[in-house]
Structure 1
Amino acid sequence: MQIRYLLALSLLPQLVLAEETTTPDANMQCIVEPPVPRPAISDSDETEIALQEIQIISNRSEAEMGKQARFNGDVSFSQGGRHIAADEAILDQGEERLDANGNLVFQDQMITITADSLVAEMRNNSASLWGAQYWLHGQQIHGDAEKLEITPDNNLHLTKTNFTTCPPGDTSWLLEAETIKIDSTEEWGELWDAKLRIGDVPVFYIPYMTIPVSDKRKSGFLFPLLSTSTTNGVEVATPYYWNISPEYDLTLTPHYMSSRGLFLKSDFRYLAGDAQQGQINVEYLGNDDMLSDSQDRYLYHWEHRGAINENWRVLANFTDVSDNNYFNDLKSEVQRATDNQMSRIGEISYFEQNWDFTARVQDIKVLGEEEKPYQVMPQVGLNYRAPDFWNGLDFSLLSEVSNFEHDDNEYSTATRLHIEPTVSYPIHGPAGSLTSEVKLLQTYYWQNDNGFEANQELASSVSRTLPQVRLHGQINFERFTSYFNENYRQTLEPQFQYLYVGYEDQDDIGIYDTAKIQEDYFGLFRDRRFSGIDRIADANQFTLGLTTRLFDDHNVETFRFSLGQIYYLEDSKVGISDPINPINNLTQENTSNSVLAAELSTKLYKDWYMSGAIQYDTKQSDNKKSEVTLDFRPGANKLLQFSYRYVPDLLNTNTNESVNISQTGMRAAWPINDNWYLVGNWYYDLNESRSVETYTGFQYESCCWAVRLSYHYRIKTNYEDDFNPVQDNRELFESGLYLNFVIKGLGGSGPLGVSDMLNDGLFNYRKPLYLKN
């Protein structure tokens, strides 16, 4: 028979720590289950009051009011959020002290403890436990302690203790310490005389260190990164994280490279109010030993974005480097080696329901090119929208004023005003849509011709007025059918477009922000041939396209095929000749139709997927561009992908010569078992008969630690550079061996993932045209 004993004693609120928001993968069997005291704990919220009721339940009791009370057999002590279960307990009401022992379990919102014995001083809300084992809630941290104290200020003091995040019985790593103090407010722990053991072997002694006991940020060293490569030699990086305040933090990374020297990197992040954030990166390598003159190399980067209020938005982005080959030689935190453009933008915008205003400045630095693009200093845009303003008609007005400057005084400069009113009449319904649209393209230029364009005389002022008429329609058919004994809903979506744009000679206008647009199926239905508005091509053409799709019983798209072509009623007379970027040069060929563009994405069978696209010149019987990928994705982190791409007449910016790209590749990611993963990439250039990238990575991950070993062999992009001329010792290919190691629970950089291994290379992984599993 259970006996209930009720008292009213003054106790302080118990210790509470925030729980982590992430949990380990259950497949790794990482979940550590602490014992639960008897009876089961209620999940009801605790109300903080000065006086709280104490409830004691036991099989037998001997008690005298105001003196000692002895309890035996399945003793359960509860007060607020604290619970104690034991075989025996003695409550001294005069001293306000509780002694308990025998199968003892202590639990509150932060921690569960089993111990040999417990003494609780209820006057000052403290407790001491001997022979303790503890588990921190919401985390995998657990360990042993000879003595564990809960202090009056709700902190924990542990003596002759240890902890780990590995399951019980797993000694992959263990941190032993003479003393650990856990601060309940700051949510971090202090350790004295600590030893780190890996597999029962002591590997590191730490006289003093701090560790996080929640997901709250804490200053300290992160795990080092080790690698070796043919260009940088042996590399060791030791990041240090500084939690300056809730609004600011800084990561400092000394990165030593035996072939180059000491590379210093800093990443400062900040919050500006509730809706704005940014970061500042500074990187510096003094006296690069791989360069003939041991030049200094550096990077500056600032990025800021956010909302001032409900209407105003701001954006800033600025990056500068010492030389063209900076990203090719050094592992930066800002850009990848494949990025050769740095955009510097400052922008402020204002948004209302029917109109918006934007002011921006922009400068683009292109690495490896002698010619520089124009700077936009500044550009001001005002856009207005009036849907259904009269009898179903929509009206919009786009307007923009841009001033173009150039660092080289020999280049022309210009101010451009563009106004684009549009009236459209959209008709939409389940059976299809029809949109009629009329635009007036009015542009004014004021140009200062400084004589760079020797073969092109620019007018000091130009007024260009072009009408545009566009009619676009689509019909939606669908039916229910079956293929290969599977039921599907099939759609047939033919669409057409008629486009007319007036002609005007534009050779007296400079090229400031205009380039040709990549052709594909969806590009057939654009109303422009060029980005920007320095050239607006005349047009009198029809576009015909057809798309068909298959949806399964769960309404998931499993097949999509699109085919289309433009039919020219008249030849376009407007081309583009850009002395700054020759890749943009384009003249209109006398042809009756465009390339035939087709795109396909399909689920072939079970876990096999395929996607492809082609632009084919039917008149010349010539492949203008094509790509195809074949994926096998049977489950999470399981992937085999085969790919091929062909791009003709691609400009080599180093030689200004046209080259054809013909590459095939293979990518794989596969779990060997619950802990081991294998990721590999291989890409081969068929024209040059050589590999351009090989990547192999092995990763082991358990619930308490992870390690990754990877090998990388890839082609390097070596630019000509006045700062650092391409030398004989610059290698065309780079190979390297990389090691990443994380002990979870000691403030590492987080679990290593398979997804970032898939993207750790020159070619990022893409699913076939967004088809879902």
Structure 2
Amino acid sequence: MLEQPAATAVDTASASARADGSDLGNGDSGDSNTSDSGDTGSSDSDSDTGSGNSGANSVDAPPLFSTPSTASAREARLHRGLDWTFCGPRPARLGSAPMAAPLAPETPIDIETGAVAYQRDTDILTLSGGVDVRREQERVLADSLTYDRNTGNIATDGETLMERPGLRMIGDHALLNLETQQGRMHNVRYRFSNRANLRGTADLAEVLNPSQTRYRGLVYSTCPPGSNAWSLKASQLKLDQGKGIGVARDARLRIKGVPVLYTPYLRFPIDDRRKSGFLIPTVGSSEERGFELVVPYYWNIAPNLDATLSPHFLSERGLLMGTELRYLTRNDEGRIEAEIIPDDAKYAGNGARWALNLEETGTWFNRIDTGLEFSAVSDERYLEDFGNGLDITSTRRLLQRGTATYHGRGWTLLTALEGYQTVDPGITPEQRPYGRLPQVLFNLDPIRLDHGLVARLNAEYVYFDHHHIVYGQRLAMQPSLSLPLRRSYGHLIPTLSLNLGGYDLANAAVGQPTSPSHSIPTLEVDGKLVFERDTHWFGTQALQTLEPRLYYLYTPYEDQSATPVFDSSELTFNFANLFRANRFTGRDRIGDANQIATALSSRFLNARTGEEMLRLSVGRILYFADRRVQIDRPPAIDEQSPIAGELAAHLFDRWHGRASFEWDPAEDSEQWGRRTLQLRYREPESKRLLNLAYRYDRGTRIDNRFETADLSFQMPVSRQVNVVGRWLYSLETDETSDAFAGLEFGQCCWRVRLLGRHSKHRADSAASTSVMLQVELAGLGAFGNSVDRFLQREIYDYQVD
């Protein structure tokens, strides 16, 4: 160890040194493959050499880059030890590695070398025979270099590798400064691997600071090694890891090496952080809107506030201006979306057309949760003309609701304001839903009393607003007392509850009371047993259960015909609803009942993992009295309900199936009332996806009957090509409701999606045809329509790669 460089030269077969600006010390062994160093010799001359025990001379030490300096060899060294799990900016779901803080000037430097010579008069170290210079996470590898301890400059000869967090470069004749952390390198191959995966070549690379690099005469790409699917060739490129921005000048976009686009200036993101600037334009075409061009501008107003301004040029309609504002505070987050078209050339109405959507969720003082969901449009046809998805264009009403929930100790209090805008021209003013202005809901957490009793309470006050039919106030309350007896082999839960309700009405029909009320008790007894046995399921050790269940319900009849129907409707009959205490939603109708539900379920569970492989359940209700309380129907006099069942199965390795059915043997015709069959195949590694569904409901009225078949899929044709599509067919009307098909082709760094769609907004409307195209280049952006978002919305379980 040399506390001070008393010797003017040190020459060994393997030498270690530490340079911190004042002294040299032993470094770690590092990657040196030479023998251990021996004693060092010294002399008083300005330049001399000594030999260690090995007797080797510095010229005999093997060079660091022993393989030939070919392009392929450099490319292999560039990517060695670095994976390529994604292309371009690191996906947000994976997180982003933080930028490394600049190193302090006094940070020690470790040097591993084959030979070292020190010039005392100039304070310059000459290192050769393979040199490895390390400073924290920074590293320089070269066959030989000179290090000026006065200035911190390092000059290398021949092939050089420089590495720092997130960046690796290999080139020739580098000049680096360890104190300013600046430098340059010629004939460079570079690779980013921290917040983004990207690579390229350059005639000259300059390190401006730990987060900024500049390149001249370069090629840039986010495609993995060995692929030249697309690249950006430019005279100059500046990459700022601190801001996550790349700026190219005199740039040419090349596809398979062929130039397809030129721009004198290009600014683009190199990671997933938000930045102001124009986004990739969207181009499309449809029969309703004609040629469509969207040029969005993203405005990063603040770290917690941004906006996107999106002017839409529609050749058949005019100019539509859209905007989206997002914010995030310490207590809440929200989004404001707005659109306006001042003059729609295809709309017969007068004035501007617009749409507004507000969303907010928040938590205040750790006890108050707030929520806002507000949507409004200028006219009833706006969604049909400008909506994109079938679920949007077929919407009949828009929700306008705001809530505030206070969480007390053992209780909650919710206050809400709720209204709707009807966008179905077929709905009369009398058919429009009630507004709740306001709704106040109180819930008391279960209170455990002596002897295992559990008490519950919920209460609600609502003012139901309407301008055309009866409206007014309702106060309802439901206290209950239960005795849950639960064991490993089942449960028995008797429950007694009281349904209290009172009204103060206005605009009531002639002869109807303005203050009706009711007080109706309900008795429930829910019993279930669980039997188990060991078995096998297609060769897998399994546990089978047999679970009989009885549910007795008694609610006496009370005439509620004088009570308006504000928010009640009859529940859909299915297996789960066999065990509900009221066959109606809401609080305006309390169904009379004297009945017992009988059910039997069986499950097959994987004995090792506990995963449910099969579940089959069937049940029905035996009625001991007629059900006299109804909504717009005569009393029900059946002695038995239809049989309801459900099936869920994990079929084979990647197949999953679900089914539900309603079968009434008492019916002479149409014994099958409601049935659903769903079958799904998913193979994540190959991106195979197939969804099959059949849905039928004979309905209580002819106008709400439906029968549909639904097929959606994503199927790989090759490693680069996927076929996607959906076909929604109405068996009731014998016509296609919605259908689209298209191709996805590309690789990790690029993707093209081409889609054709034929759809109907309503059953009685004419079908329209549209074509959507999206070109996505990882690290540059996506051109065209947002096909990826459309597919996520329309194909169940579809995931963007």
Give TM-score scaled by structure 1 length: 0.86
Tell me the distance in 1 between the aligned counterparts of 2:494 and 2:297.
60
Matched residue type, 2:698: P
- Tell me the CA shift for residue 366 of structure 1: 3.1
Of 768, 774, 777, 1:734 maps to 768
Matched residue type, 2:320: F
Contact 2:139 2:164 (8 Å CA) reproduced:
yes
Partner of 1:328, secondary structure, is helix
Contact 2:739 2:759 (8 Å CA) reproduced:
yes
Tell me the distance in 2 between the aligned counterparts of 1:178 and 1:528.
74
Deviates more, 1:140-149 or 1:414-423: 140-149
Tell me the distance in 1 between the aligned counterparts of 2:180 and 2:447.
69
The aligned counterpart of 1:555 is 610
In the alignment, structure 1 residue 437 sits paired with structure 2 residue 495: yes
Cα 1:235–1:137 shift into 2, 3 Å: same
Of 465, 470, 478, 1:412 maps to 470
Cα 1:128–1:735 shift into 2, 3 Å: same
The aligned counterpart of 1:601 is 648
Tell me the distance in 2 between the aligned counterparts of 1:85 and 1:443.
82
- Tell me the CA shift for residue 539 of structure 1: 1.1
Matched residue type, 2:462: S
Of 199, 202, 221, 1:145 maps to 202
1:545-584 mapped onto 2 (5 Å cutoff): 545-553=599-607, 554-576=609-631
Of 519, 523, 527, 1:473 maps to 527
Of 219, 224, 227, 2:281 maps to 224
Contact 2:485 2:492 (8 Å CA) reproduced:
yes
Matched residue type, 2:697: V
Tell me the distance in 1 between the aligned counterparts of 2:210 and 2:538.
71
Tell me the distance in 1 between the aligned counterparts of 2:349 and 2:785.
41
In the alignment, structure 1 residue 534 sits paired with structure 2 residue 603: no
Matched residue type, 1:698: L
Aligned Cα RMSD in Å?
2.8
Partner of 1:35, secondary structure, is helix
Contact 1:415 1:445 (8 Å CA) reproduced:
yes
1:127-526 mapped onto 2 (5 Å cutoff): 127-138=183-194, 139-151=196-208, 155-273=212-330, 275-293=331-349, 296-331=352-387, 336-368=392-424, 369-370=427-428, 371-406=431-466, 408=467, 410-451=468-509, 457-482=511-536, 485-526=539-580
Contact 1:447 1:458 (8 Å CA) reproduced:
no
Cα 1:287–1:487 shift into 2, 3 Å: same
Contact 1:488 1:552 (8 Å CA) reproduced:
yes
In the alignment, structure 1 residue 59 sits paired with structure 2 residue 117: no
Give CA-to-partner distance per residue, 1:494-541, whole Å, 9 cap, x none. Answer: 111111112221111111111121111001111111111111111111
In the alignment, structure 1 residue 668 sits paired with structure 2 residue 713: yes
Give CA-to-partner distance per residue, 1:80-115, whole Å, 9 cap, x none. Answer: 222111112012234432111212000111311111
Tell me the distance in 1 between the aligned counterparts of 2:139 and 2:399.
60
Tell me the distance in 2 between the aligned counterparts of 1:218 and 1:448.
56
Of 6, 19, 28, 1:7 maps to 19
Contact 1:375 1:404 (8 Å CA) reproduced:
yes
The aligned counterpart of 1:613 is 660
Tell me the distance in 2 between the aligned counterparts of 1:179 and 1:420.
73
- Tell me the CA shift for residue 570 of structure 1: 0.9
1:696-735 mapped onto 2 (5 Å cutoff): 696-717=741-762, 732-735=766-769
Partner of 1:511, secondary structure, is coil
Contact 2:320 2:342 (8 Å CA) reproduced:
yes
Q: What percent identity do the matched residue pairs reach? A: 26
Give CA-to-partner distance per residue, 1:215-262, whole Å, 9 cap, x none. Answer: 221122333333322222222333322221111111222222222222
Tell me the distance in 1 between the aligned counterparts of 2:137 and 2:652.
55
Partner of 2:384, secondary structure, is helix
- Tell me the CA shift for residue 680 of structure 1: 2.1
Matched residue type, 1:646: Y
Contact 2:484 2:494 (8 Å CA) reproduced:
yes
Tell me the distance in 1 between the aligned counterparts of 2:79 and 2:738.
54
Partner of 1:59, secondary structure, is strand
- Tell me the CA shift for residue 661 of structure 1: 1.7
In the alignment, structure 1 residue 765 sits paired with structure 2 residue 796: yes
The aligned counterpart of 2:673 is 624
Matched residue type, 1:544: T
Deviates more, 1:435-444 or 1:293-302: 293-302
- Tell me the CA shift for residue 190 of structure 1: 2.6
Contact 1:679 1:757 (8 Å CA) reproduced:
no
Cα 1:142–1:496 shift into 2, 3 Å: same
Tell me the distance in 1 between the aligned counterparts of 2:630 and 2:172.
88
Give CA-to-partner distance per residue, 1:107-157, whole Å, 9 cap, x none. Answer: 111311111111123453321212222111222211122222222575322
Matched residue type, 1:526: R
Matched residue type, 2:499: L
Partner of 1:530, secondary structure, is coil
The aligned counterpart of 2:635 is 588
- Tell me the CA shift for residue 632 of structure 1: 3.9
The aligned counterpart of 1:21 is none
Partner of 1:323, secondary structure, is coil
The aligned counterpart of 1:41 is none
**Runs (5+) with no aligned partner, structure 2:** 1-12, 23-74, 82-99
In the alignment, structure 1 residue 109 sits paired with structure 2 residue 165: yes
- Tell me the CA shift for residue 704 of structure 1: 1.1
Matched residue type, 2:574: D
Partner of 2:637, secondary structure, is coil
- Tell me the CA shift for residue 395 of structure 1: 0.7
Give CA-to-partner distance per residue, 1:296-328, whole Å, 9 cap, x none. Answer: 321011111121132110011111012222222
**Runs (5+) with no aligned partner, structure 1:** 11-31, 39-44, 577-584, 652-656, 720-730, 768-773
Contact 2:628 2:636 (8 Å CA) reproduced:
no
Cα 1:648–1:155 shift into 2, 3 Å: same
Which has the greater radius of gyration?
2
Contact 1:302 1:319 (8 Å CA) reproduced:
yes
Tell me the distance in 2 between the aligned counterparts of 1:213 and 1:610.
42
Contact 2:239 2:246 (8 Å CA) reproduced:
yes
Cα 1:203–1:461 shift into 2, 3 Å: same
Matched residue type, 1:642: L
Cα 1:61–1:291 shift into 2, 3 Å: same
In the alignment, structure 1 residue 686 sits paired with structure 2 residue 740: no
Contact 2:602 2:617 (8 Å CA) reproduced:
yes
- Tell me the CA shift for residue 445 of structure 1: 0.7
Contact 2:192 2:199 (8 Å CA) reproduced:
yes
Contact 1:612 1:628 (8 Å CA) reproduced:
yes
In the alignment, structure 1 residue 35 sits paired with structure 2 residue 110: no
- Tell me the CA shift for residue 574 of structure 1: 1.0
Give TM-score scaled by structure 2 length: 0.83
Tell me the distance in 1 between the aligned counterparts of 2:241 and 2:472.
63
- Tell me the CA shift for residue 175 of structure 1: 1.7
Tell me the distance in 2 between the aligned counterparts of 1:307 and 1:33.
52
Partner of 2:243, secondary structure, is coil
Give CA-to-partner distance per residue, 1:595-639, whole Å, 9 cap, x none. Answer: 211111224555444322111223224221112233444554223
